[in-house]
Structure 1
Amino acid sequence: MSYENVGKLEDFADGKGSEILIGARRIALFRDGDMVRAIKNICPHEGDLLHRCPPRDGAAVCLGHGWRFDLETGNCLKGN
């Protein structure tokens, strides 16, 4: 695992997603209090951007078809 400084905690809205680019990689960041989690910013089903999805119960839920992505691991938890 590597770390990249992408800003201050205050730069990210609590309870919302943000998108950053690191090289050519699109990353979704989700802030929850004093913790920020990062996952790939794309749903593999149809390419929807996950940073637009409000986080719920520790997961980003794709607005396209309801696929859930764990904010700690980035793994898909469930697909509709």
Structure 2
Amino acid sequence: MNKILLFAGLQEKAGQAEVELNAVNKSIAEIKSMLKESYQMEEIDTSMAAVNEEYANGDFVVKEGDTIAFIPPVSGG
């Protein structure tokens, strides 16, 4: 199992800051797709991903015990 951390609007969509998901041997792109379908998170497509606190691209494959974070774009004024 893997811990998935969600921030900002993604957290609001899921109704929780983190979810447990069996993401072993799945790419970041596949995980985004799973979350998008489960929680109707359209904005996850533009989110950055980090695995174990290091940025990862969509091709990165997750291993057992990895922690994945999704960080949506931030804007402010």
TM-score (norm 1): 0.28
Higher strand proportion (structure 1 or 2): 1
Higher helix proportion (structure 1 or 2): 2
TM-score (norm 2): 0.29
